Structure 1
Amino acid sequence: MAEIGLRGSAVRDPGHREEQRRRILAAAAEVFARKGYEAATMEDIAAQMGVSKGVLYYQFRSKQELVVETRRATSGAAVERLGEIVRRPGSARERIEAALRDLAAAAFDPLAKHVILLPVLHGLDKQHLDEVRSIERRYERLLETLLREGVAEGGLVVDDVKLAAFTLIRACFGPAVWYRPDGPLTRDQIIDRLVVQLLRSLTVEVS
């Protein structure tokens, strides 16, 4: 059976449609990061792609639907990666280090940047805001689970797991605000140093 698009017509080339969808999400993420959600328009996103608004509306009904999809693509993928890390064998500390590295790398991902720079989406209705927050909360709960394992193993000191998880997330996202490609440190150097510093803040010192 042929796939049906939003306008009710058959999709002749699903592969092309999916590629176009990825391009729309990338363009939208760039515009949302630069202008903010409320100021951004569908016209801005179409201009970023160099296409007409009709191309966007062929795949997305509204700006709200589009921003939810950009965040689902980025935050949803992050949840899947963290879930895989949580399920790995090995110590909690090793898995927390892997989780922090993955999280810090997101600060350099153009598609993820709008999620980092726009932590609260003013202008979304409750339904769409709840969809966004449900994805983010899944990530937070997974990280909290990992931190609790580290405390139980005796390798970490965490007084408030929720506060620690939120602090780690925001710290890892910091480079998205200030990093410059022509700066003194490379992307990998920043990730390495940031992860080491954050692990030190959580680790029990053995005398």
Structure 2
Amino acid sequence: MPLTENIIEAAARLVALHGPDGFTMDDLARESGLSRATLYRQAGSREAVLATLSEQGIEVGRRADVRERILAACRVVFTRAGFEAATLEDVAREAGVGPATVYRQFGDKQGLITTFASHIGPRRAMQEAALNPTGDLRADLERVAATLLRYMAQDLDLLKLALLEKMRGGQWAELLDASPIRVRTTLTQLLESYAASGALGPDDPGRMAMAFVGMLFASFMGTVLEGQPPPEPGEAARFVTHVFLDGVASKKARRTP
């Protein structure tokens, strides 16, 4: 159904005032003097309204994909309210879309959190390192460590939230991938490849991966819990990798029977 002039004019005013991502369908209903149900029946969705404005030559700017905007809104809403208290309506409001759009994209809250969890954290970068080892174990571990530390710093609020959720055993704990412990499987793959080539000893790569991630996590959270800024990723990665591969004892001490 073509949009009425009233809706188009109201939408154009809102875009001019707040930008294409700065209003919701509720805002448009109030601006056009229509009920929410009538607006949705006539316009369909916020995206359809903006598409019509664009077709009529009204500048709506370059806009992020609606799915990306919703996932970006999740970061804001979840860190502010927590997984339990946050609602799809909160996420929709933050993303500047209608709740129906969120439901259409993700189905329900569980689907939204599952998708959100799969899009955060360093898994993709970790997988690249694990699937494409360079042959230099130290360099690969430093690269993995720096990547993990960088993501932990960027997602500190989410990391805290995810850890609290896991510790209390909340209903969303199994859906979350924000904890650095989740990268252990990928790191194990990397260490397995070096163990197979003889570059690592006979110890279980899974246990070695757990130890390495634990060292990184401790070096990061130790400074944060003391109220200090997160460690510089490159320097901390080099130090932890050195301790992991070489230990802290002097060469003379290591030679002592």
| 1:190 and 2:232 aligned | yes
Contact 1:85–1:95 (CA<8 Å) still a contact in 2? Answer: yes
- After superposition, what is the alpha-carbon deviation per residue over 1:99-128, rounded to whole angstroms, capped at 9, x for unaligned? 011111112335x85256314272239xxx
- After superposition, what is the alpha-carbon deviation per residue over 1:42-94, rounded to whole angstroms, capped at 9, x for unaligned? 2221232243322322212111111100111124xx33322221223231111
Larger RCO: 1 or 2 (CA < 8 Å, sep 6+): 1
**Which one of the candidate residues 115, 133, 140 is aligned to 1:69?**
115
What does residue 95 of structure 2 align with? 49
Contact 1:108–1:176 (CA<8 Å) still a contact in 2? Answer: no
Q: Which amino acid aligns with 1:195?
A: A
1-side partners of 2:158 and 2:242: how far apart?
A: 29
- After superposition, what is the alpha-carbon deviation per residue over 1:2-52, rounded to whole angstroms, capped at 9, x for unaligned? xxxxxxx9x988xx9981101101111222122221121122212322433
2-side partners of 1:17 and 1:59: how far apart?
A: 17
- Please give the root-mean-square deviation of Cα atoms over the aligned residues, in Å: 4.0
Contact 2:129–2:140 (CA<8 Å) still a contact in 1? Answer: yes
2-side partners of 1:19 and 1:175: how far apart?
A: 38
Contact 2:133–2:190 (CA<8 Å) still a contact in 1? Answer: no
Contact 1:43–1:53 (CA<8 Å) still a contact in 2? Answer: yes
Provide structure 2 residue ranges, at least 5 long, that are not aligned to the other structure: 1-43, 52-61, 252-257
2-side partners of 1:72 and 1:85: how far apart?
A: 18
Contact 2:129–2:190 (CA<8 Å) still a contact in 1? Answer: no
Cα shift at 1:178:
6.4
Q: Which amino acid aligns with 1:191?
A: P
TM-score of the superposition, structure 2-length normalised?
0.55
TM-score of the superposition, structure 1-length normalised?
0.66
SS of the residue aligned with 1:38? helix
Q: Which amino acid aligns with 2:171?
A: G
Which stretch shifts more, 61-70 or 45-54?
45-54
2-side partners of 1:26 and 1:163: how far apart?
A: 30
What does residue 17 of structure 2 align with? none
1-side partners of 2:240 and 2:140: how far apart?
A: 14
What does residue 187 of structure 2 align with? 143
| 1:103 and 2:148 aligned | yes
Contact 2:146–2:233 (CA<8 Å) still a contact in 1? Answer: yes
Percent identity reads 23
What does residue 134 of structure 2 align with? 89
SS of the residue aligned with 2:100? helix
| 1:194–1:169 CA distance, 2 compared to 1 (3 A) | closer
What does residue 171 of structure 2 align with? 123
The higher radius of gyration belongs to 2
Contact 1:97–1:199 (CA<8 Å) still a contact in 2? Answer: yes
Which stretch shifts more, 197-206 or 81-90?
197-206
**Which one of the candidate residues 187, 193, 210 is aligned to 1:163?**
210
What does residue 4 of structure 1 align with? none
